[in-house]
C-alpha cells in the first residue's frame, strides 16, 4: 500500500460549513454577514447550468481570447515566444498548480502570507477567476466527483467537462458571500475577498505593460505582437491545459488507485500542466503536494514547492509516497 507521510486531510476539503465564516484572521477582517439564513447551497452540474442559459459575457471573453491566440501566429518572433513561455510558467505553474490548487485548495503546504498573496496574483493571470471561485469549485469537484453536482464531470459529456460548464449558468466569480460556505478559510481574509472580486485587474495591467514595453522596444507592430503572445495566446493555452485536467484525466489514462471516481493518470496532460495530469494519484491523496508519485512521473509544480522548502519559504509540506512492493493497491490509503 502507498504510505502517506502526511497529516490527516484537512476537514475543509471534505466538509462544507453550514454558515458564513465571520472570525477574523491574520491580515483579514470579519466577513459582514446579514442576520438571515446561511448562504444557499450552490447546485452545479449540466442540468442546473443549462437551465440558466448561456453566459454571454464568459462566451464573449473566451471567443476574443481564442481569436487573439490565432492572430498571434502572424506576429511570431523568438523574443515573443520566450515572453509567452515565461508568463505561462508564472500563471499556470506558480499561480494555478502551486498556489490555487496545492496551496489554497488542499493546504498541502504553508508559505509566508506575502508569498501566498504574490502567488495568488500569479494565479489571476491565468484568467481562471479569483481564488474564492477557483477553490470553491475545485472543492465541490472533490466532494461530488463524477456524481450529480460535480461542476465538470465527463459523465455529462467530454466537451461539457472541458469548456461547456463555463459557458452556461450564472457567473460566480465575484459572489464571495455566496461561496463563503465552501471556502471559510479564504473568505475571512480581506486580500482574498478583494482579489476574488477584482481578479481581472492583474491580467489587464500585464496586458498594458506588454503593449507599452513592446511599443518602446519595437514600435506598434511589436506592441501588438507582445500583447497577442504574452496575453492572448498564453492565456488560451493555459486555459486548455487546466481544462484538460477536468476532462481528459477523467477519460483517458491509467488508474493506479481504485478511487470512487473516474480519475486517471495522464502523461501528456501532466506535461502541459506542470504535473496536474497525475490525477488518479491526486484523487487518492488530495492533500499531498506531490502528484507524480513514481520517479518517472514528471511533476514540475511539486519541484517548485520543493525548491521553496529548500529556500526556507515552504513549511508543513504534505507528501505521499509509494510502497515499491505494492505500487498499485486495490484501495487507496
CA distance 130 to 230: 20
- Which among 173, 147, 153, 186 is positioned nearest to 12, based on CA atoms? 186
| DSSP state for residue 125 in the 8-state scheme | T
CB 163 within 8 A of CB 151: no
Per-residue pLDDT band at 114 (split at 50, 70, 90): very high
- For residues 244 and 276, give the distance between their C-alpha atoms in angstroms, rounded to a whole number: 10
- C-alpha grid cell for residue 233? 495566446
pLDDT above 70 (res 21): no
**Residue 333 located in a structural domain:** no
H or E segment at 157?
none
pLDDT the model gives residue 322: 82
* Torsional sign, CA 189, 307, 304, 290: negative
**Mean pLDDT over residues 123-141, rounded?**
96
Identify whether 210 is part of a domain: yes
In a domain, 305, yes or no: yes
Q: What is the mean pLDDT of the chain?
A: 86
Lowest-confidence segment of 132-136, 177-181, 203-207 by average pLDDT:
177-181
- Residue by residue, DSSP assigns 186-202 as HHT-HHHHHHHHTTHHH
Does 32 reside within a domain? Answer: no
Domain count, the chain: 1
- pLDDT the model gives residue 171: 65
Instruction: Say whether pLDDT at 170 is over 80.
Output: no
- Per the DSSP assignment, residues forming a β-bridge with 278 are 265
Residue 315 lies in a domain: yes
Residue at 303 is within a domain = yes
- Among the ranges given (53-57, 107-111, 235-239), the one the predictor scored with the smallest mean pLDDT: 53-57
- 264: domain range? 3-18+43-321
Confidence grade of residue 51 (pLDDT, cut at 50, 70, 90): confident
Query: Ramachandran region of residue 274, left (φ > 0), alpha (ψ -120 to 50) or beta?
Result: left
Residue 232 lies inside a defined structural domain of this protein: yes
Residue 26 lies in a domain: no
Q: How many angstroms separate the CA atoms of 320 and 61, rounded?
A: 39
DSSP label of 258: -
Instruction: Count CB neighbours of 136 within 10 A.
Output: 27
Q: Is the pLDDT of residue 258 over 50?
A: yes
Total-model pTM: 0.85
Q: What is the DSSP letter of 181?
A: T
Q: Residue 168 corresponds to which cell in the numbers above?
A: 452556461
> Is there a contact between 92 and 271 (Cβ–Cβ < 8 Å)?
no
| Distance separating alpha carbons of residues 168 and 56, to the nearest angstrom | 8
Grid cell of 8 as nine digits: 490527516
Q: Name residue, grid cell 498541502.
A: 108
Does residue 129 come out as left (phi exceeding 0), alpha (psi in the -120 to 50 range) or beta? Answer: left
- The x, y and z cell numbers of residue 324, run together, are 515499491
Amino acid at each position: 500500500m502507498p504510505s502517506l507521510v502526511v497529516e490527516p486531510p484537512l476537514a475543509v476539503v471534505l466538509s462544507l460549513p453550514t454558515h458564513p465564516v465571520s472570525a477574523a484572521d491574520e491580515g483579514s477582517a470579519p466577513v459582514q454577514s446579514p442576520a438571515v439564513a446561511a448562504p444557499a447551497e450552490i447546485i452545479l452540474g449540466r442540468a442546473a447550468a443549462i437551465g440558466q442559459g448561456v453566459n454571454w459575457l464568459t462566451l464573449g471573453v473566451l471567443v476574443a481570447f481564442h481569436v487573439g491566440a490565432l492572430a498571434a501566429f502572424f506576429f511570431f518572433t523568438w523574443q515573443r515566444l520566450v515572453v509567452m513561455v515565461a508568463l505561462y510558467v508564472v500563471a499556470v505553474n506558480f499561480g494555478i498548480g502551486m498556489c490555487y490548487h496545492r496551496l489554497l485548495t488542499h493546504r498541502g503546504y504553508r508559505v509566508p502570507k506575502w508569498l501566498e498573496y504574490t502567488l495568488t496574483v500569479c494565479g489571476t493571470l491565468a484568467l481562471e477567476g479569483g481564488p474564492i471561485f477557483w477553490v470553491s469549485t475545485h472543492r465541490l469537484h472533490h466532494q461530488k466527483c463524477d456524481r450529480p453536482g460535480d461542476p465538470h464531470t465527463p459523465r455529462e459529456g467530454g466537451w461539457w467537462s472541458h469548456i461547456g460548464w463555463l459557458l452556461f449558468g450564472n457567473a460566480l466569480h465575484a459572489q464571495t458571500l455566496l461561496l463563503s460556505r465552501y471556502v471559510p478559510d479564504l473568505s475571512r481574509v480581506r486580500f482574498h475577498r478583494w482579489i476574488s472580486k477584482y481578479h481581472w485587474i492583474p491580467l489587464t495591467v500585464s496586458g498594458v505593460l506588454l503593449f507599452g514595453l513592446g511599443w518602446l522596444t519595437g514600435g506598434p507592430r511589436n506592441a501588438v505582437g507582445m500583447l497577442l503572445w504574452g496575453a492572448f495566446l498564453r492565456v488560451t493555452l493555459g486555459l486548455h491545459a487546466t481544462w484538460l485536467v477536468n476532462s481528459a484525466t477523467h477519460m483517458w489514462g491509467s488508474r493506479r488507485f481504485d478511487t470512487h471516481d473516474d480519475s486517471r493518470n495522464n502523461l501528456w496532460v501532466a506535461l502541459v500542466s506542470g504535473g496536474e495530469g497525475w490525477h488518479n494519484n491526486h484523487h487518492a491523496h488530495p492533500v499531498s503536494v506531490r502528484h507524480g508519485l513514481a520517479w518517472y512521473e514528471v511533476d514540475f509544480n511539486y519541484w517548485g514547492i520543493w525548491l521553496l522548502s529548500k529556500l526556507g519559504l515552504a513549511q508543513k509540506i504534505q507528501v505521499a509516497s509509494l510502497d515499491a512492493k505494492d505500487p498499485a493497491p486495490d484501495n487507496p490509503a
